Amino acid sequence: MKKISALVALAAASALVLSGCSTTQSSTTASSATSASSAAGDSGAAASGDGVKVAFVSQIEGIPYFNGFKTGGEKAAQDLGITYTQTGPATTNSAEQVKILDGLVAQQYDAIAVSPLDPTSINSSIASASSAGVKMATSDADAPESERAVFVSQASDEALGGTVMDELAKATGGSGQYGIISGGADTATFNNWIKAAQDRQAAEYPGMELVGGIKYTTDTASALQEAQNLMTAFPDLKGIIAIPSTAIPGVAQAVQNAGAAGRVAVTGFGSPKTAGEFLESGAMTSTVLWDVEDLGYLTVWAMDQLVEGKPFAASNTVPGLENPVTYDESTKTLLLGDPTVFTKDNYAKYDF
């Protein structure tokens, strides 16, 4: 519990540091993340200059995942000669996220992308922003029923869910009881990944059984508690899938605290830095994600395309990205590529 308290405190401290400062570079470069409160109401949060201004609203600031997104977004803005602002709530609070988005719209950004915590509650704000002339996109998570112009997707839901189930089956021998510990129940992207994982399990691993239902959590501490409860209720549990980066440390720490590393396999969707110490200790076998810096880069490039009125092609060569990016006109989705599996052997190569 001392270890998890430290993790929670570190995340909170990072969020507070971010909420207390912002940095604006020149008018042709990226600006640093502004605070949630500044984005919601302080006109000083907008970067200066006559050039294109774009912004991204994350699900939560101060964690390695969205720090990596910011790094990629700032690099794209520098390459494109535009200004980039990243901000988000200090906790996964959908109401606060909507407030931040509305604040950015009032500051007359040319384009805004958001990773919705709750696609239903944010739809009206996206509609209002679009009516006001702001080019709206979703990235990292989608609001498919909204008026967003494009969804910048890291990988398909089917590929991500299928890959994480393959990883769990590999670690457990493809049989036995497993649990799923997710983030917010209203986060559509998480639910899509869960469905894809369950579909893969049903089709490919009939000897595996989900027990305890889906456990929904709000932070690292609640994920730790749910993992402890799951292992107590099901002593034969062989594995756990942890969905968001906030759940990964809690679930892995619970397994480590219980001395169950090697007996209860843990995989899920977390950044290499978030999972690194647990991959090293054996409390996690793998984590599935993508290159989040590339996702940040692609998101800023896409917003610039929207502002410039340039259509997306079926296959797009994006300067700064190694591989072409595909576009599905029917769903208005830009797809970064295939999932990446991070293990003890390769996680240290990535800085997010």
**22's tokens:** 């912002």
Closest C-alpha among 242, 240, 239 to residue 219:
242
User: Is the C-alpha dihedral spanning 21, 60, 123, 336 positive or negative?
Assistant: positive
Q: Are strands 53-57 and 325-328 parallel, antiparallel or unpaired?
A: unpaired
Residue whose tokens read 């099901």: 234
Provide φ and ψ at 67, rounded to 5°. -65, -40
**pTM across the whole model:** 0.73
Q: Are strands 340-342 and 287-289 parallel, antiparallel or unpaired?
A: antiparallel
**48's tokens:** 């200066």
Q: Using CA atoms, how far apart are residues 72 and 30, in angstroms rounded to an integer? A: 10
Residuewise pLDDT in 10s, the chain (352 residues): 434 444 544 443 333 222 222 222 322 333 333 333 334 333 333 333 359 999 999 999 998 899 999 999 999 999 999 999 999 999 989 999 999 999 999 999 999 999 999 988 999 999 999 999 999 999 999 999 999 999 999 999 999 999 999 999 999 999 999 999 999 898 888 999 999 999 999 999 999 999 999 999 989 999 999 999 999 999 999 999 999 888 999 999 999 999 999 999 999 998 899 999 999 999 999 999 999 999 999 999 999 999 999 999 999 999 999 999 999 999 999 999 999 999 999 999 998 9
Closest C-alpha among 341, 287, 292 to residue 321:
292
185 membership: H or E segment, kind and range: none
Provide φ and ψ at 120, rounded to 5°. -75, -50
8 Å CB contact between 251 and 225: no
Closest C-alpha among 126, 162, 163 to residue 141:
126
| CB proximity list for 129: less than 8 A, separation 6 or greater | 101, 105, 112, 136
Closest C-alpha among 66, 78, 71, 9 to residue 36:
66
Burial of 344 (0-12, 13-18, 19+ CB in 10 A): middle
**315's tokens:** 């296959």
Computed over its alpha carbons, how large is the radius of gyration of the chain?
20
CA distances from 114 to 45, 85, 294, 329 (A): 17, 12, 16, 20
8 Å CB contact between 117 and 64: no
CB atoms within 10 A of CB 113: 28
Q: Using CA atoms, how far apart are residues 53 and 71, in angstroms rounded to an integer? A: 17
